[in-house]
Structure 1
Amino acid sequence: MQWLKFIAVKLTLCIIFGILLGYFSNPSPIVSLSLTLFFLLILGIVFIRKHHSSSLLFGTITTLLAISIGALSFSFSQPKNWPDHYSHFPQHEKREWTLKIREVLKPTLYSHRYIAEVQQADSLKASGKIFLNINRDSTGNALLVDDEIIAYSALTPLSSPLNPLQFNYKKYAEGLGIYHRLKISAVQFAKKDTPSKTLMGIAARARNHLIGKLREHPFGREELGVIQALLLGERNDLSQETNTHYKDAGAFHILALSGLHIGILLGLLHFLLKPLELLPKGKTIKLFIIVLCLWNFAFLAGLSASIIRAVTMFSFVAYALYLNRPTSNFNVLALSLLFILLLINPMLLFQVGFQLSYAAVFSIVLIFPKLQEFWTPKNWFLKKGWELLSVSIAAQLGVLPISLFYFHQFPGLFFVSNLIVVPFLAFILGMGILLLILVVFDILPSFLALGYNSIIKSMNWVIGQIAQQELFLFKNIYFDAVQLVLSFVIIISMGLLFAKASFKRVLMCFLGILCFQLWWYYVSLELYKTETILIAHIPRSSAILYQSGNSLSVFHRDSLATARVVNDFSLSKNIGKINYSILQNSFRYGEDNLFVVDSSGFYPKTDYKVTTLLLTQSPKINLDRLIDTLHPEIIVADGSNYKSYIAQWEASCKKRKLPFHYTGEKGALIYTFE
């Protein structure tokens, strides 16, 4: 692994380790800063006394310093560590908030959604970001980036998922530095007349202007949504069907404006500007123009986090092409990663898009050359086809573990969509940029717009046909964090073994595969040893899940309403068999009993002990009499009950000092026993 010899690679790995250390230990900024200054002081003393940097002690102190810098960067990136962050004000109180719109999110049927920056709280300076939801009114007016409003209301903390193993939107938002939401109506805020302008706002207005111009031309609705995503990074107008087709075909990277598009744009510019190399200082001029064009494109795309990340990475790649030294690829990628994590945002390390981008690029740099050495066709068409297929295979190997870990599915026909679409993507992207230029000057001819619309329509049709081959879409694949790490160990060791066989590399690959199998066996064994009962939270419905070993029994009122909860639970537990039944009135788990009282209000007198009493469908009962009859140890109310009933039941239980669990507030109730 010669790439580990580069200083930039070593420093980047240490910085990443420091960020991870900060993420799991959450040190205060003072502690992180003190450790950084301490190691910096020790490093200076060692350097002065040794007069060189080749000693083991110097390397050790440098490593510790880099790790502490990573932890320090993480601490300073946490908004709650800022002294003027809005969270330091007393919570749950109505305040006058001055907010600046930073990002326009995809609206729902009932509200406009934004990410807003807090500027003031009750006339006091404040900072931080929140989600802003504004109910739609009859006018349908929406805010734009850089707009400033004054609203009087109370913030609502983001809630964790009410059922286990579901997508944790609260955790995702915290990664963006967002902890609260503000919900207001269209008449509960005042818009400022003269808001301050920022580069992000100017970029958003330029993009909205281009989108408005595009809508004046004869593009179809679906085609226009894809054009906006492909050229401007605007995916709010994409239909759910189109999104699903591109995901299932393994081609969603075509719509997600990031590394692939910037890489193609870099390649086009590198080819078109090649004549500049004939001029004095031509290579330097060419590098300057390429980087300038990349950042101008990022500006038109709205300067989103993903596009800034991609342009930053490929600006370093452009510099690597300028140096024309193949051995500097890992070095330059590591430098771009170091630059992004330290100067832009270390929390990007925990975002899926960031992980997928760098995993794909590093995998291509590592594996693609080896695949080319494996076979070099003499036929030009075969050579280009093999190069494209090699890039696709290398990229998919890099992102496969991450895709399985987050999305639990893998498109088996990814190479088909890439072989069909990606060869023409440079032409599609180049023609699209030409269209944008013509649109700006209002000289886009209709025949050109119709021709481009037909190209996008054909691409959508091809992707749709591939996505419909469900036999090749592997879904519901269980994959945990340990398997994620071990998979990367196996992929890297196999890549190194493929490059040059040695006993150490064979041993590393064998141990990786063995550990993966042992972990899978351990998880399966633990699953067979456990039994779990889950009283789920389902709005306006009820469900109880009983897991015993590899089988799951679902007792429900509505199978369609329980589908998501069942799918998430069975996937995380790697369940092989699922049985559905109508919800019963009583269950026995271990030595305990669960009794269900539904809308009928019927409950028989029983001699056995009722451990858990579940109330569903808002039964009209006298709870005090019911408690005196059944003597339950805990009362549970699920999501099928009226909230007014919940308040009465909770008050009754509080008087009797009896535990009360409402799944709408505390989440699903889980019993696990062996």
Structure 2
Amino acid sequence: MFKADYIFARILLPLIVGIGVFYFFPTENLIVTLSIISAAIFLLLFVINFTYKILNAYKFKGISGFLFFTFFFSFGGLLCLLNNEKLKADYFAKKDYKLLKIWVNDEPEQTNDILRFKARVISGYLNNNQLKQSGQILLALKVDSLNPIHLEYGDELIVSAKYLDVEPPYNPAEFDFKQWLANQNVFEQAFINQNHILKTNRNIGNPILKFALKLREAQVNKYRKLIKNDEAFAVASTLILGYRADLSKETLAAYSKTGTIHALSVSGSHVAIIFFVLDFMLIFLDRKRGTKILKFILIFSLIWIYALITGLSPSVVRSAIMIGIFITAKTFARNKNGYNTLAFAAFCQLIYNPFLIWDVGFQLSYISVFGLIYLQPKIYKWIYIKNKWLNKVWELIAISLAAQIVTFPLCIYYFHQFPIYFLLGNLFISLPLMVIMILGIIVLIPFADKLSTIFEWIIVSTNQILKWIADLPYSTLSSIWINLPELLLLSLSLGLFIYALTNYNKKLIYASILLYIFYASLIVYDDWVATKQQKIIFFTLRKNYAAAFISGRETILLTDLNANDKNFHFFVKPALEQAQISKINFINLNRDTLINHFIKKDNQIVFKGYRILLIDEFLNYKNLNIEGKFSSLWLTGNIRFMLENLNRHIEFKSLIIDATNKDYKIASFKTFAENNSIPQHVLKKNPAYLVQLTQ
């Protein structure tokens, strides 16, 4: 029914489609339905294959192919639903437990006095009964600065916590932390103090993973002793060991702007470097069948030893599995089809964890490897170079081009930027990265620490050159926002164009150009809309206020945040970038301002005909001598002003209540609005308030 060469490549597509579709329909009833469908189709296919010659089933290949597609589609959906923690009968959040017994199932991260970690629930305590439960929870623990608690992977704890659903994004273009956690099967979170937690002095984590994390910690400590430069230490720990070190903003920006940020994430490229180095060093073992198997055992073992050193981080494990399957096929398979091997690696990992299809690292890893298999040889053949060393340089360029081209649409969609000098950056980083990887592992070996000086110098020099490249004019196209339909159009156009070029198919080239014109038209339309936009965004924040008065590509941002504040970067800036704002005028409520169509004076704001009366702390215990009609009243600064005492000559259509007001004040304002049938918009734990203005 399927060509044996491509069987996993063919069944992977319906499996992914099934997982993707049923992820959005998480209901228990569908589990039963999909189980019956999968079982019935499997039995039918078994009967067809068992009686293939008797029934002359070859005449019905189309029907058999459809059944295969349907089986893996439903099987993928079934896998997705069975892996959804919320659909399990004993999911802990279905009941309100006052106490939970949990264990720490990842490495805790501390920021200031807050310790964050994911934990797996063992049981819940209800009416003095301990009930076995399942599920995961994200905990934010406020640590006692005088007597801080020490937690590590596997620690068993009893916590007193009120768990809540993870909050969704409230502002336009804000990072969807709720969805990001849901893709990891985490749906609840809790914020607790250290005195609400009890360690049972038991560690029940996976002993292999615990050993790996301890091993990595020892290697990080060794780096700390050997490397004097803090930035070099941070790069070495992140790049080689996958340890989340504190990299400076300048270094992160340099790697990001040069398109080499992948070098700082221990992933497929790092494992591939180790594989190629080992494959080259052990090439003398390729002569006989027996020594070839010995070579396979050595490389396979050393790759997993490296994975252990990195703490068995998910990205490294994923890459080790992928490379492991590749070298197994290379050693033992007669027909070494790269696409089928790649599909088999993805198939195995999705069977284990179907939610991986939403992992950005998983998507980029497999797409980039596909690009290397399919596109790199074709790019390499464009130019024939006799010189051995120049040929190696061209080979590196072909690799960089192939990986960058196939991942280009996804990188723009997820990261909203494109590095102009990616070729220069990747060409430069290729050799240093290889040397850094090899030296970084060697210096961890006893009696090899004398090489640490050279190791440190190479890292420092590499960082300096990347910073120089990043500072070149027009190094990055940033603030590029495309939506899902535009991503699909761009990807389809690019895919068709590449396939048409490699197969000399003019019709497909024309089709790809038409798709690209359609995509470009949407982009031009988005740009036109951006130049004509007139709107106000009142942002939802935790303790601050921010409102963007947008006209075309310029905005007046009325806020108590500054351009360097992390709250501005996380909650406000993404919305302004998505709106294609090129100029931001920061002002605050303490100063009167007149800019273009924006006027703020005497507690009044006027913008494009939209009038706001500002009720702040300066009006506490005062009588308002203002009359007129207002679009909104903006309540800010936890005011003591009594809304009941508003002048009868003041008319307004809605209340805007920002996060600078305390909860009890917000509650009283809401009561006032409800009693007087006035629309109210609370900018705290509610969606941002968007006002579209007529031109």
TM-score w.r.t. structure 2 length?
A: 0.88
Q: Is the aligned partner of 1:400 residue 2:408?
A: yes
What is residue 85 of structure 1 aligned with on the other side?
Answer: 91
What is residue 311 of structure 2 aligned with on the other side?
Answer: 302
What is residue 35 of structure 1 aligned with on the other side?
Answer: 37
How far has the Cα of 1:420 moved from its partner? 1.8
What CA distance in whole angstroms lies between the structure 2 residues aligned with 1:482 and 1:489? 11
Amino acid paired to 1:87 = A
What CA distance in whole angstroms lies between the structure 1 residues aligned with 2:71 and 2:462? 50
Alignment of 1:263-342 (within 5 A): 263-322=272-331, 328-342=337-351
How far has the Cα of 1:527 moved from its partner? 5.3
What CA distance in whole angstroms lies between the structure 2 residues aligned with 1:425 and 1:488? 30
Q: 1:470 to 1:308 in 2, by over 3 A?
A: farther
What is residue 263 of structure 2 aligned with on the other side?
Answer: 254
Q: 1:124 to 1:429 in 2, by over 3 A?
A: same
What is residue 130 of structure 1 aligned with on the other side?
Answer: 137
Instruction: Work out which of the residue numbers 610, 618, 633 in structure 2 matches 1:600.
Output: 618
What SS does the aligned partner of 2:168 have? Answer: coil
How far has the Cα of 1:589 moved from its partner? 8.1
What CA distance in whole angstroms lies between the structure 1 residues aligned with 2:419 and 2:506? 34
Amino acid paired to 1:19 = I
What CA distance in whole angstroms lies between the structure 2 residues aligned with 1:551 and 1:9? 49
What CA distance in whole angstroms lies between the structure 2 residues aligned with 1:435 and 1:141? 33
What is residue 147 of structure 1 aligned with on the other side?
Answer: 155
What SS does the aligned partner of 1:131 have? Answer: strand
Q: 1:102 to 1:194 in 2, by over 3 A?
A: same
What SS does the aligned partner of 2:157 have? Answer: strand
Alignment of 1:383-394 (within 5 A): 383-394=391-402
Identity %: 24
TM-score w.r.t. structure 1 length?
A: 0.91
8 Å contact 1:226–1:238 — kept in the other structure? yes
Q: Is the aligned partner of 1:223 residue 2:223?
A: no
What CA distance in whole angstroms lies between the structure 1 residues aligned with 2:667 and 2:214? 48
What SS does the aligned partner of 2:158 have? Answer: strand
What is residue 435 of structure 1 aligned with on the other side?
Answer: 443
Amino acid paired to 1:669 = Y
Q: 1:257 to 1:380 in 2, by over 3 A?
A: same
What CA distance in whole angstroms lies between the structure 2 residues aligned with 1:253 and 1:195? 34
What is residue 214 of structure 2 aligned with on the other side?
Answer: 205
Alignment of 1:169-180 (within 5 A): 169-180=177-188
Amino acid paired to 1:599 = E
Q: 1:57 to 1:619 in 2, by over 3 A?
A: same
Q: Is the aligned partner of 1:637 residue 2:652?
A: no
Alignment of 1:11-22 (within 5 A): 11-22=11-22
Q: 1:81 to 1:628 in 2, by over 3 A?
A: farther
Describe the superposition over 1:331-386 as per-residue Cα deviations: whole angstroms up to 9, x where unpaired: 1111111111112x111111111111112111122211111111120011210000
Q: Is the aligned partner of 1:110 residue 2:113?
A: yes
8 Å contact 2:171–2:688 — kept in the other structure? yes
Describe the superposition over 1:507-563 as per-residue Cα deviations: whole angstroms up to 9, x where unpaired: 332222122123224444655776433212345543333445555454445563685
Instruction: Work out which of the residue numbers 452, 458, 462 in structure 1 matches 2:461.
Output: 458
What SS does the aligned partner of 1:148 have? Answer: strand
Q: Tell which deviates more after alignment, 588-597 or 315-324.
A: 588-597
Describe the superposition over 1:598-622 as per-residue Cα deviations: whole angstroms up to 9, x where unpaired: 32227554343x4432212233311
What is residue 24 of structure 1 aligned with on the other side?
Answer: 24
8 Å contact 1:226–1:255 — kept in the other structure? yes
How far has the Cα of 1:462 moved from its partner? 2.2
What is residue 590 of structure 2 aligned with on the other side?
Answer: none
8 Å contact 2:22–2:77 — kept in the other structure? yes
Describe the superposition over 1:294-343 as per-residue Cα deviations: whole angstroms up to 9, x where unpaired: 22221221112111111111112213432687961111111111111112
8 Å contact 2:330–2:336 — kept in the other structure? no
Amino acid paired to 1:670 = L
What CA distance in whole angstroms lies between the structure 2 residues aligned with 1:274 and 1:544? 64
Amino acid paired to 2:139 = L
What CA distance in whole angstroms lies between the structure 1 residues aligned with 2:191 and 2:473? 40
What SS does the aligned partner of 2:536 have? Answer: strand
Instruction: Work out which of the residue numbers 667, 689, 695 in structure 2 matches 1:669.
Output: 689
Q: 1:238 to 1:148 in 2, by over 3 A?
A: farther
What CA distance in whole angstroms lies between the structure 2 residues aligned with 1:517 and 1:450? 51
Q: 1:99 to 1:650 in 2, by over 3 A?
A: same
What CA distance in whole angstroms lies between the structure 2 residues aligned with 1:233 and 1:283? 31
Q: 1:650 to 1:323 in 2, by over 3 A?
A: same
Q: 1:127 to 1:505 in 2, by over 3 A?
A: same
Q: 1:469 to 1:323 in 2, by over 3 A?
A: farther
Instruction: Work out which of the residue numbers 366, 370, 375 in structure 2 matches 1:358.
Output: 366
What CA distance in whole angstroms lies between the structure 1 residues aligned with 2:371 and 2:7? 20
8 Å contact 2:5–2:335 — kept in the other structure? no
What is residue 376 of structure 1 aligned with on the other side?
Answer: 384
Q: 1:70 to 1:233 in 2, by over 3 A?
A: same
Q: Is the aligned partner of 1:62 residue 2:68?
A: yes
Q: Is the aligned partner of 1:159 residue 2:159?
A: no
How far has the Cα of 1:194 moved from its partner? 3.0
8 Å contact 2:99–2:159 — kept in the other structure? yes
8 Å contact 1:106–1:236 — kept in the other structure? no
What SS does the aligned partner of 1:194 have? Answer: strand
Instruction: Work out which of the residue numbers 632, 637, 644 in structure 2 matches 1:617.
Output: 637
RMSD: 2.9
What CA distance in whole angstroms lies between the structure 1 residues aligned with 2:434 and 2:610? 65
Amino acid paired to 2:243 = E
Gap runs ≥5 in structure 1: none
What CA distance in whole angstroms lies between the structure 2 residues aligned with 1:182 and 1:358? 35
Describe the superposition over 1:223-274 as per-residue Cα deviations: whole angstroms up to 9, x where unpaired: 2222222221112343444333322222121110001001111111212222
Q: 1:3 to 1:474 in 2, by over 3 A?
A: farther
What CA distance in whole angstroms lies between the structure 2 residues aligned with 1:488 and 1:327? 28
8 Å contact 1:435–1:444 — kept in the other structure? yes
8 Å contact 2:171–2:572 — kept in the other structure? no
Alignment of 1:481-496 (within 5 A): 481-496=484-499
How far has the Cα of 1:5 moved from its partner? 7.7
Instruction: Work out which of the residue numbers 537, 540, 561 in structure 2 matches 1:537.
Output: 540
What is residue 471 of structure 2 aligned with on the other side?
Answer: 468
Gap runs ≥5 in structure 2: 588-592, 594-598
Q: Is the aligned partner of 1:477 residue 2:495?
A: no
Instruction: Work out which of the residue numbers 506, 519, 522 in structure 2 matches 1:519.
Output: 522
What SS does the aligned partner of 1:11 have? Answer: helix
How far has the Cα of 1:396 moved from its partner? 0.9
Amino acid paired to 2:111 = T
Alignment of 1:233-244 (within 5 A): 233-244=242-253
